[in-house]
Each structure stands twice: as structure tokens, then as C-alpha cells.
Amino acid sequence: MIKVITYGTFDLLHYGHINLLKRAKELGDYLIVALSTNEFNLVKGKKCYFSYEQRKKLLEAIRYVDLVIPEENWEQKINDILQLKVDIFVMGNDWKNKFNYLNDYCKVVYLERTPEISTSKIKFDLKLDEK
């Protein structure tokens, strides 16, 4: 069994997220999503609309996702990979080369993002509609 892991906030879930999760799952047999907690998102300078538990439920409802675990800090990736016996680490290509150090533990793959959509774009567009 080939295990794949990806990390993210997945707030305001949209079709770009679904595309990424589908392509990540196609790389293996079992997809793990490490979902950033609200506390960790604050460290990253992000504020979520939905709580961790709400975002977790949304991800668990997606057929490509087999397991959702909490992401609580930047440093946990190596431990997650080792403990969960992960074969492939996947991130969007906006993070290209930032996680190459993980190649010592598993294969690292950067996937193209869906160019026309992002959570930041949705938030920006919604603010424009308020005016």
C-alpha cells in the first residue's frame, strides 16, 4: 500500500482543493490530510472561517481522503512521515522546493494548483462584493 500525505488549512473548501486531493490520491492507495489547527493557523498568520472540527468533517466527507490528522506545528512533518509510514509527501507547487529536505524520508511531489481559484481569491472577491 502506497501512503500519501498532504498538509493544509482547507478553509472555504473549493474545487481547487478537490482537484489537489484527487491528484494526490491518484499517486497512491491511501491519502492522509494533515489539517492545520486553528491555533497553528494563527501562528501562520491565517484566520479560519470554519473551526478545525468543521473543516475536518468536510475533508472526511471527500471520497479521496482516508484519514485526517491535526497539523499543530511546522516541525511535525518528519515525525508524521515516519510514524504513519508515508511513501509520498504532496504539496501545491506554490511551495516548490520548500520541503525538499523530506526527500530523505519519502518522495516529495509538488502538484500544480488550480490557477484560477484559491481561498485568498474567494475572500478578496467577497470583500469586493460588499462594496
Residues forming the active site:
44, 46
Q: Per the structure block, which three cell numbers stand in for 11?
A: 478553509
Rounded Cα–Cα distance for residues 111 and 93 (Å): 5
The number of helix segments (H) and strand segments (E) in the chain equals: 5, 5
- Percentages helix, strand, coil for the chain, rounded to the nearest 5? 45, 20, 35
Taking Cα atoms as reference points, which of 42, 8, 49, 123 lies closest to residue 18?
Answer: 8
Cα 68 to chain centroid distance, Å, stands at: 10
Rounded Cα–Cα distance for residues 77 and 5 (Å): 9
